[in-house]
Structure 1
Amino acid sequence: MSKNKHIGSDFDVFLAEQGELEEATAIAVKRVIAWQIEQAMQTTGVNKSALAKRMHTSRTVVDRMLDATDTGLTLETMTRAATALGFRVRVDLVAA
């Protein structure tokens, strides 16, 4: 019998036991959002400066929005970016 209690367990369970599940989830979600915005920018041929202009904001805000580790993105900023790129935001809550 193994002495490691985590062998065979779920990684989410491990993160929860360490008190790091919420932070890890937030970072993972932000990485996906940043990637999706970058993909939309490439698809539409819009660079960071043009996106900032379309959003009526600064390039610094766009840089923070695209920073995969900055989890402080607001729904308002995300929606403004999506609209500026010709997309819309859809948010789903799913059972844990």
Structure 2
Amino acid sequence: MTARHLIVHGRVQGVFYRDWTVETARDHGLAGWVRNLPDGTVEAHLEGDGEAITRMIAAMHDGPPRAAPTRIEQRSAEPQGLGGFTRR
């Protein structure tokens, strides 16, 4: 199992980015969570198959139709053994 911690920059709040992330992560079979941060970014924790995480991050560069992500900071993280993907 692999885990990644992400900070997504750009127009990602108020455009259903978190809801889209939950749905898309579940479609990829990933566990984790996503939440808005006070500075306008979105923070996410993904865990699961490494290839699925890579595909998910690639999709997150586009996001839902009204979003405009500009960059994604990412780093390795410790898997938390989460079941499912939630919005915080």
Name the TM-score, length of structure 2 as normaliser: 0.31
Give 1 or 2: higher helix fraction: 1
Higher relative contact order (CA 8 A, sep 6+): 2
Name the TM-score, length of structure 1 as normaliser: 0.29
Give 1 or 2: higher strand fraction: 2
